[in-house]
Copies of this chain bind each other. A is one copy, B any other.
Amino acid sequence: MNNEVISQGVKRQFKDDLFEQFARIGKALSSGRRLELLELLAQRERSVEELASEAALSVANCSQHLQILRAAQLVAVRRDGLFSRYRLADEQVLRLWLSFRQLGEARLAEVSRVVETYLKDRRALEAITNDQLIARLRTNDVVVLDVRPEEEFRAGHIAAARSIPITMLEQRLKEIPQRSTIVAYCRGPYCVFADDAVGLLRKHGYQAYRLQNGFPEWKMQGLPTATGAQS
């Protein structure tokens, strides 16, 4: 009897300890700022300063958030001269973040509300899915356009894609054949680079579409990717 009581206590302690450990991951994921950092790191490795400026945080604050992500083993860091370069710890982290995001999209009405509020024009632009793009690539004449900053293209891109960062697109329009269908993609469903690209292309008479997802989702689905600069 006494034995049982003790054993009960031990089991409770075990469960408390165990779930408290798992909760560390939850705590790391419980801040919008940190999720934004993960989303940025899903594109490529970045220094603290780059992250701070992209996420509109002070460097010290950003560094602190990164320490929290690191304590939960969600990101890893390497030293490169003067810089600390952060990246997602591994593919499992990307998978967790994507399924986390997917759950939010599917179940939190507020997410769709926020997206609709800010991205009103999104509906008008027909988006095509990864599978549809694969199908088109086999049969049609399609140009796949990566409009992210060039470093992100270099860190990894859809195998068939060519890079024209959104900031350069207007100047470099003549590189794109008028005859082809254009499919533009960027960082993911909450990035507006591809929206802007499609808008610009259509204004200039192209037949352009947005890819529904971005590069991380494509990669996670196991579809063909490549790294390095444009050949």
Contact = CB atoms under 8 A, between A and B. Distances in A.
9 contacts: A11-B192, A14-B114, A14-B119, A15-B36, A21-B111, A23-B32, A26-B29, A72-B108, A92-B106
B35 A23 contact: yes
A115 B35 contact: no
B21 A104 contact: yes
A119 B26 CA distance: 24
Contacts of A110: 21
A36 to B, nearest CB: 5
Contacts of A36: 15, 19
A33 to B, nearest CB: 7
B29 A25 contact: yes
Contacts of A50: none
Contact of A33 (B19, B39, B90): B19
Interface in A2-17: 10-17
B93 A103 contact: yes
Given A25-B29, A25-B108, 16 more contacts: A11-B192, A13-B118, A17-B118, A18-B111, A22-B101, A23-B30, A24-B104, A25-B100, A25-B104, A26-B29, A26-B31, A26-B35, A27-B30, A73-B107, A92-B106, A95-B99
Interface of A: 10-36, 39, 56, 72-73, 89-90, 92-93, 95-96, 99-104, 106-108, 110-111, 114-115, 117-119, 190, 192
Q: Is the interface of A mostly helix, strand, loop or mixed?
A: helix
A108 B31 contact: no
B107 A96 contact: no
Given A23-B30, A35-B26, A108-B73, A12 B95 contact: no
Contacts of A14: 114, 117-119
Nearest to A95: B99
B26 A30 contact: yes
